[in-house]
Copies of this chain bind each other. A is one copy, B any other.
Amino acid sequence: MSRYTSATDADREAMLERIGAGSIDELFADIPASVRLDRPIDLPAGKPEQEVYGYLRDLAARNTSAEDEITFLGAGMYDHYVPALVDALISRSEFLTPYTPYQPEVSQGTLQLMFEYQTAISELTALPVSNSTLYEGPSAVASAGWLARLENKRPRFLVSRGLHPHSREALATTSHGYGTAVEQIPLAGGVTDADALREAIGEDVSAVFLQQPNFLGAVEDLERLAPIARETGALLVVQVDPMTLGVLRPPGDFDVDIAVGEGQPLGNRLDFGGPSFGFFAAQERFLRRMPGRIAGETTDVDGRRGFVLTLQTREQHIRREKATHNITTAQTLNALAGVIYLSWLGRKGIVELGDLLLQRTAYARRTLTALDGVEALHDQPVVREFAVRLAAPVDRVIERCAERGVNPGYPLAADYEEHEDGLLVAITEQRTRADIDRLADVLGAAVAAEREAVHA
């Protein structure tokens, strides 16, 4: 099947002759016979384009996507509306198909968008420096851990139980490699227990990890927690939801050392979990320890302004085993979607949208907790997501709702054994009041039915 290759039989002959080889097989003579594959690859024959399209379309049709149901799933990724101009622009070959911009003279498009992206992220987080993406949220948390390790070599990480379970796990997986222990700080009343944190903090703590809003949707009191966390010189790392930063005080307000987060809400698709991007912003003093690419402004030989990859002495291709991180391919195209989205939203829009989420979330929480068998899991302020307790088996309630075309949210049991009756409900601008009312209707009925089922 040649459709992407051009070498005709005539081409092959002419080329082999020029090479001075009798056959293509000869070119593979270095491969010892004993390790050669002496049979065809055991895969089906290739298919015409229309059949590949048909096959994958049919698979896609077997998924229930946000296009097919009213979904209140969130827990780290959110069904926000992606404006058409994002898709139109990121699909331009000029952005879609180049490699990392190693030749700045012919990569100003990518380099400038990285610079603009970095600016937007430091504006959102109110921190002075940002890199130009890591893979995604949880691995960005893990990368913050690695930076802390390079910074102070202390043996303990303290993580709030309000930190996304995936972030906690990614941190544990990677820190196991270099031997830093991870301890959890419990929640009290839905937010990080400040006393427990004060208990645990000490000279041997490398970094403290919090999340704003936390995984249960609660707004953490960073004003109170930050000083405790940093008291003994530990780094304070906060994972933030970028969509809330129009209304919530930013990490920079609390002198956090590093702010990281999941970029998907900013103009990126859900894509069943990826690709998206992880952002990483920090205080100036960490600049030369930052992981990942950073674009910097400079001038060319004619004095024209331009952009380059900078501070590369941090990176693996120069410093190898001494590099500050091993990352090379990151998520530039997703960052482009992010910065286009933020430009579309604009200075006013990010506040308006944040306020819309805030109001609809408050309304949804009021409405759901008014139902029999549904109560708030905590009373903390919430912005775009909240947790409730159901007086009926959560999984079965979800099934009943799904049958009626509503996905009520994420069951907490898997990640919080203490909340096996918990349901996490997320709101986006695509979930209207009517959708919320429908959720109340469907959820209320499902809970009632399940309670009956039990009594029966």
Interface residues of A (CB under 8 A from B): 49-50, 53, 81, 83-84, 88, 91-92, 429-430
Partner of A81, one of B50, B88, B430: B50
Nearest CB in chain B to that of A96: its residue? B88
Q: Are B81 and A49 in contact (CB under 8 A)?
A: yes
Determine the chain B residues whose CB is within 8 A of the CB of A83 once the complex forms.
49
Distance of A341 from chain B, by nearest CB (Å): 12
A11 → chain B, closest Cβ, in Å?
Answer: 16
Name A84's contact: one of B49, B81, B92, B430 (CB within 8 Å). B49
A64 vs chain B, min Cβ distance (A): 16
Tell me which of B53, B92, B429 contacts A92 (CB under 8 A): B92
Q: Is the CB of A429 within 8 A of B50?
A: yes
CA distance A88 to B97 in the complex (A): 13
Q: List 5 A-B residue pairs with CB atoms under 8 Å apart, sorted by A's residue number.
A: A49-B81, A49-B83, A49-B84, A50-B429, A88-B91
Q: Does the CB pair B50–A430 fall under 8 Å?
A: yes
How far, in whole Å, are A337 and B200 apart by their CA atoms in the complex?
Answer: 66
* Interfacial chain B residues near A91, Cβ < 8 Å: 88, 91
Bound form: Cα–Cα A429–B83 in Å: 34
> Which B residues are CB-close (under 8 A) to A429?
50
A81 CB contacts on chain B under 8 angstroms:
49-50, 53
Which residues of B lie under 8 Å from residue A50 when comparing CB positions?
Answer: 81, 429-430
> Bound complex: CA of A50 vs CA of B91, how far in Å?
20
Closest to A89 in B: B93
- Give the docked Cα–Cα distance between A91 and B92 (Å): 9
**Could you list 8 further interchain pairs (A-B, Cβ under 8 angstroms) beyond the known A50-B81, A53-B81, A92-B92?**
A49-B81, A49-B83, A49-B84, A50-B429, A50-B430, A53-B84, A88-B91, A91-B91
CA distance A49 to B88 in the complex (A): 15
Shortest CB-to-CB span from A454 to chain B, Å, is: 38
> Measured between alpha carbons, how far is A92 from B94 in the docked complex, in Å?
11
Q: Within the complex, what minimum Cβ distance (angstroms) separates A375 from chain B?
A: 32
Question: In the complex, A429→B49 CA distance in Å?
Answer: 12
Q: Which residues of B contact A92 (CB under 8 A)?
A: 92
Q: In the bound complex, what is the Cα–Cα distance between A237 and B351 (angstroms)?
A: 64
Alpha-carbon gap, A84 to B429, bound state (A): 31
The distance in angstroms between the C-alpha atoms of A84 and B49, with both chains bound, is 9
Q: Name which residue of chain B comes closest to A61, CB basis.
A: B67
Minimum CB–CB distance for A81 against chain B, Å: 4
Residues of B within 8 A of A49 (CB): 81, 83-84
CA–CA, A354 to B88, complex, Å?
Answer: 34
